[in-house]
């Protein structure tokens, strides 16, 4: 007989935790202590579900690194007593939140599955029930006493993705997320099929929690006609330590001398600049075209196929470690949590 797995369900806020008042039509927070009554199908799963919630549920637009710290605290304090974790949060910033948690939980050996919904749990056509039921099933899936998915992942509309490979692509469709540069970890249909070759390997190392993040970064998105004043305003931000440079195609940028000089001077001042593509899929390939060879020459960091959501999280994490400039560049261009190919 299979062991009954202990799953902790954590609610931070978001649409999935709302129900519609039948009289007023207004949305209000759902009492997760009564979850089994609302979704009796959960009783069919071979696991025991416990719940925990933020004292004050946070709209996804208000999520920040202080809330990330609160969330990893909840996971760390319960880590030894549970076999898996399901985190319910707002979908708008879920990819950012889940990416950050993947860096904050080092040597993770248990599933941490993020999910949410486009419609409230009490809505007639809600996607919340399927997302929640399957996320819990994934978190409780073990084989030979080891979890099948020992990493931070995101489940939405029949697809399980590596969390730090995801981006939200649609504000209305149930298929709200995608992972264009990495295959799904699992696909849910008549059967729940795991793509075992794509899943992070299990580790028996002790969990290390990296709570403190350095948020002194900015995003500079290029566009045709961008001015010197535009670029200066970002590069001269007070206390800035890192810049995410969203370039065209495979990492291409203007070759104007003023543009290259501004970036070069920023790097000389100790600011890290990472080149990521504006494209939803694909990778930066510095030096492939003349329009990116100068960036490579002045020491721009190659973001390869990392998402903007993941590069934000990786910046937060690496800046907090206070490592040398050489080690920083090496770490950024290396896969730490499966975030780049």
Give DSSP secondary structure letters for 138-200: HHT-EETTEES--SEEEEETTEEEEGGG-EE--SSSS--EE-TTS--SEEESSSEEE-GGGSP
| Between 288 and 41, residue with greater pLDDT | 41
pLDDT at 18 exceeding the cut of 80: no
- The partner residues of 221 in beta bridges, in order of sequence, read 246
CATH number, position 142: 3.40.50.1170
Segments forming the whole domain that contains residue 258? 217-332
Reported as a pLDDT band with limits 50, 70 and 90, residue 41 is confident
As given in the structure block, the two tokens for residue 163 are 């969390």
Within a domain: 316: yes
User: 22 in helix, strand or coil?
Assistant: coil
pLDDT at 287 exceeding the cut of 80: no
pLDDT at 21 exceeding the cut of 90: no
Question: How far is residue 75's CA from residue 120's CA, in Å, rounded to a whole number?
Answer: 25
Q: Could you tell me if 30 and 147 lie in one domain?
A: yes
Question: How far is residue 341's CA from residue 338's CA, in Å, rounded to a whole number?
Answer: 7
Q: What is the pLDDT of residue 143?
A: 95
Each residue's pLDDT tens digit, 45-62: 889 999 999 988 888 899
Within a domain: 314: yes
- The partner residues of 301 in beta bridges, in order of sequence, read 274
Question: How far is residue 115's CA from residue 96's CA, in Å, rounded to a whole number?
Answer: 13
| Between 10 and 20, residue with greater pLDDT | 10
Q: Could you tell me if 178 and 233 lie in one domain?
A: no
As given in the structure block, the two tokens for residue 187 are 């696909």
Contact 336, 281 (CB under 8 A): no
Least confident of 46-55, 114-123, 229-238, 258-267: 114-123
Query: Which residues are designated catalytic?
Result: 15
pLDDT at 278 exceeding the cut of 60: yes
Q: Mutual orientation of helices 290-298 and 257-268 as an angle, nearest 10°? A: 20
Q: Could you tell me if 42 and 67 lie in one domain?
A: yes
Q: Could you tell me if 59 and 193 lie in one domain?
A: yes
Burial of 41 (0-12, 13-18, 19+ CB in 10 A): exposed
Domains identified in the chain, total number: 2
Beta-carbon contacts of residue 91 (< 8 Å; ≥ 6 apart): 14, 15, 60, 116, 117, 118, 156, 168, 176, 177
Interval 61-88 mean pLDDT: 96
Q: What is the pLDDT of residue 333?
A: 95
Mean pLDDT of the chain: 92
């Amino acid at each position: 007989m299979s062991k009954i797995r202990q799953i902790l369900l954590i609610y931070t806020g978001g649409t999935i935790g709302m129900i519609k008042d039948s009289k007023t039509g207004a949305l209000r927070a759902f009492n997760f202590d009564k979850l089994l009554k609302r979704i009796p199908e959960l009783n069919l799963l071979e696991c025991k579900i416990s719940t925990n919630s933020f004292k004050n549920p946070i709209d996804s637009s208000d999520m920040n690194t202080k809330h990330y710290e609160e969330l990893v605290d909840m996971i760390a304090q319960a880590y030894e007593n549970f076999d898996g974790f399901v985190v319910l949060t707002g979908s708008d910033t879920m990819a950012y939140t889940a990416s950050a948690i993947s860096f904050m939980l080092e040597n993770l050996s248990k599933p941490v599955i993020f999910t949410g919904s486009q419609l409230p749990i009490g809505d007639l056509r809600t996607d919340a029930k399927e997302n929640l039921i399957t996320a819990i099933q994934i978190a409780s899936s073990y084989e030979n006493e080891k979890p099948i998915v020992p990493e931070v992942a995101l489940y939405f509309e029949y697809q399980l993705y590596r969390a730090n490979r995801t981006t939200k692509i649609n504000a209305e469709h149930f298929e709200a997320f995608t992972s264009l540069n990495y295959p799904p970890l699992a696909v849910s249909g008549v059967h729940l099929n795991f793509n075992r070759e794509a899943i992070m390997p299990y580790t028996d190392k002790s969990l290390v929690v990296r709570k403190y993040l350095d948020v002194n970064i900015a995003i500079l998105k290029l566009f045709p006609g961008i001015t010197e004043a535009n670029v200066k305003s970002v590069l001269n931000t007070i206390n800035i330590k890192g810049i995410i440079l969203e370039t065209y195609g495979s990492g291409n940028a203007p070759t104007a001398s003023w543009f290259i000089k501004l970036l070069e001077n920023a790097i000389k001042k100790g600011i890290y600049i990472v080149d990521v593509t504006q494209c939803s899929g694909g990778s930066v390939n510095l030096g492939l075209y003349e329009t990116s060879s100068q960036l490579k020459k002045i020491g721009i960091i190659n973001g390869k196929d990392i998402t903007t959501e993941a590069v934000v999280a990786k910046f937060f994490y690496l800046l907090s470690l206070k490592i040398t400039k050489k080690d920083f560049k090496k770490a950024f261009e290396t896969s730490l949590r499966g975030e780049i190919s």
